[in-house]
A = this chain, B = another copy of it.
Amino acid sequence: MSVTTLHRPTHRDALEALSAAFERGDLVTVFGRCTVEYDGRAASSLGPGDRLLILKPDGTALVHTDEQRTPVNWQPPGSEHRVAVRDGRLRVRSERETPDERLDVRFEAVHQVSALPVTGGRAVDVHGSEEDLRQRVLEHPELVEPRFEPAATERETAAGPVDVFGHDSEGRPVVVELKRRRVGPDAAGQLGRYVEALEREVPDGADVRGVLVAPSVTDRARELLAEKGLEFVSLEPPAASENGAIRDPSTGSDAEDA
C-alpha cells in the first residue's frame, strides 16, 4: 500500500479518490483554490484562495495557508468528513455534534489530491513540563525551602487540586503551585484561591502558606503575591539533558498504540 496522488483531477475523480481514501483510513491532503465557511461555536467566512486541506481519519480537518502555525480554519477530531460535487464545485464538509459545528470547504479548482497511508508511532516524549518540575521538587524539597516536607500531590480542595501540599519546618501547612515558565497575575490568583480554600478546610484555623514555584514572575504578579501574603521561589524545570536519561524504562517505553 502506497501513496496515491492525482494532479488537476476532475471534481468527480477527486471525489472518488477522497471516498476511497476515507474508506482506507488514509490521511488526505487536498491543495486547490477554495472558499471556506465555518459555523458552530463561532462563525467565519474565508474568501477564495489556494490552501492546503488536511483530512485525518480521526475526523480532524485543517485548512492551512502559507502563513501561521495555526490553521486558518479547522474541525476538531471526532468530526465526520463527507465529500460531494455541488454547483460545479468539490465540496468537503466536516461536521460534528456537541458542540454542533460544521466546516465547508468548496473547491473551484483542485490542483492536487493525495492519500497517505500512515503507520507507526505517534507517542512523543516531552521533557521540561510542569510534571518534571514537580518531580524535581519532590526529590529535592529543600529547593523550595529548608526542611520543607511534601505530603501530597494533586491534593483536592474546594478550589481545585493543589500541585504540591506539605508542611514547613514549623509544621504549618504549605500550598505549592508549580509553573514551568515565567508567570503573570493569573497564577497568583490561582494560588490565592487554593490557600483560601485550604484555610477553611484546615480544622484548627492555622495559617496556610502559599508558595509559587516558577522560573520568574512579572512585576504585577509579584505585587499581587505580596498583597495576598504569598511567596515566590525561583526554580526551573530540569533541562532535558538532566532529566531524560534517568527515566524508568518500564513506563518510558515508546508505546506505539494500535
- Identify the A interface with B (CB < 8 A): 2-3, 5, 7, 25, 27, 29, 31, 33, 36, 39, 41-52, 54, 56-58, 60, 62, 64-69, 72-74, 76-77, 111-112, 114, 116-129, 158-160, 180-181, 185-186, 189-190, 192-193, 220, 224, 237, 239-240, 244, 254, 256
Contacts and interface: CB of A to CB of B under 8 A. Distances in A.
Q: For the complex, would chain A's binding face be called helix, strand, loop or mixed by DSSP majority?
A: mixed
A86 B33 CA distance: 37
Contacts of A237: 42
Q: Which 7 A-B pairs have the closest CB atoms?
A: A49-B120, A43-B240, A42-B128, A189-B189, A66-B118, A65-B122, A44-B126
A47 B254 CA distance: 7
A42 B127 contact: yes
A50 B117 contact: yes
B66 A58 contact: yes
Given A66-B56, A66-B118, A119-B50, A41 B3 contact: no
A70 to B, nearest CB: 9
A158 B224 CA distance: 11
A159 B220 contact: yes
Given A68-B58, A69-B74, A116 B122 contact: no
Given A43-B128, A112-B116, A160-B185, 16 more contacts: A27-B66, A39-B240, A42-B126, A42-B129, A46-B122, A49-B119, A49-B120, A50-B120, A51-B120, A52-B118, A65-B118, A68-B77, A72-B124, A112-B114, A189-B189, A193-B224
Contacts of A7: 3, 5
A159 B218 CA distance: 12
Number of copies: 2
A159 B185 contact: yes
A74 B114 CA distance: 22
A39 B128 CA distance: 10
A225 to B, nearest CB: 13
A158 B31 CA distance: 48
A72 to B, nearest CB: 5
B56 A62 contact: no
Contacts of A180: 42
A147 B126 CA distance: 53
Contact of A121 (B46, B114, B117, B181): B46
Nearest to A125: B45
